[in-house]
Amino acid sequence: MVGMILRNIRKLNKLRQIDIADKLKVAENTVSNYETEYSNITFETAINFIQGCNFDIQLINKEDGRVYSVNELGVVDKKLDK
């Protein structure tokens, strides 16, 4: 399912696999492997892939409806570690 989402967001912005590969600094076939789920993708690389397609990941707290970005949660995590 992750691969299908990655492929669809890439295609929505009319980007080619080579365009994303250049942004991620990986081989074009690596992008293909992510999209077909032949290779596993790390969460960090998936975020970079998604942001390279001009999308962002948002997480919604079901209790209060508050929306968080991945970057915002990274900052929250650092604050919680203190």
pTM of full prediction above 0.85:
no
User: Which residue is associated with the tokens 């997480």?
Assistant: 59
Q: How far apart are CA 39 and CA 32, in angstroms?
A: 9
Residue 76, pLDDT > 70, answer no
- For the chain, the maximum distance between any two Cα atoms, rounded to a whole number of angstroms, is 43
Q: Report the CATH number at residue 43.
A: 1.10.260.40
Give the confidence band of 70 by pLDDT, cuts at 50, 70, 90. confident
Q: What is the pLDDT of residue 81?
A: 52
Q: Tell me what percent of the residues of the chain surpass a pLDDT of 90.
A: 80
Average pLDDT, the chain: 90
Segments forming the whole domain that contains residue 46: 2-81
* Domain total of the chain: 1
* C-beta of residue 60 within 8 angstroms of C-beta of residue 66: yes
Q: Compute the distance between CA of residue 28 and CA of residue 81 in angstroms, rounded to an integer.
A: 38
CA distance 73 to 61: 12
